[in-house]
Amino acid sequence: MTMLVIDDPADVSAKDAAWFTGAGCALMSSVYLTACLFAHLKKVREDFPYLRLSATDDTRLAALLLRVQRGFRYHEGVYYVTQPSIGEAVWVRGDERLLTYREFCEKLQDPAWRVWIDRLTLFHLETARGQKTERTGRLLAALVQLSEFLDDCVGGGKSIESRVRAESDVPL
């Protein structure tokens, strides 16, 4: 399934539910999961004073979070100020949960709400087109480093390596 199902992020608002679960699912679920990542990164930054980390780990985590943020921003990607805003947009206050994929897609059908997600959708379209590959490489490296740091701090094993093995026959 291809992610190149629209030319312009504005086209998303005219799509029906069947598109979000069919032809548009690869693209929009990627956008949704990235928005959820932004929500979690925002939460970590907010909870930073309450995390039990050594001074060295504290500094390392801050640097790794910034590196991920810069990875998304690099080469006119998703700008710093909009990343936490997108994360906030998918957070349901009061319920203390993230929007479901269905709720997210329903909100995207509203052009006034969708416009705040357009830059992230464009980011995924550019990536799918093979554009701005240096940005993709930087971002992937930053995400791997953050994941490895979290694996070491939490002691939960090698999450990326385990996930790749579970989803494919290709060794790392």
Q: Could you tell me if 159 and 153 are in contact, meaning their C-beta atoms sit under 8 angstroms apart? A: no
Longest Cα–Cα distance of the chain, Å, equals 50
Note the pLDDT of residue 156.
Answer: 59
Which tokens belong to 127?
Answer: 């990536």
Mean pLDDT on 150-166: 69
Q: Could you tell me if 105 and 28 are in contact, meaning their C-beta atoms sit under 8 angstroms apart? A: yes
Q: Could you tell me if 20 and 105 are in contact, meaning their C-beta atoms sit under 8 angstroms apart? A: yes
Q: Could you tell me if 119 and 31 are in contact, meaning their C-beta atoms sit under 8 angstroms apart? A: no
pLDDT in tens, 42-54: 998 888 776 777 7
pLDDT in tens, 58-109: 888 989 999 999 999 999 999 999 999 999 999 999 999 999 999 999 999 9
Distance CA 121, CA 165 (A): 28
Note the pLDDT of residue 155.
Answer: 63
Name residues whose C-beta falls within 8 Å of residue 158's C-beta, 6 or more positions apart in sequence.
148, 151
Residue among 86, 78, 156 nearest 114 (CA): 86
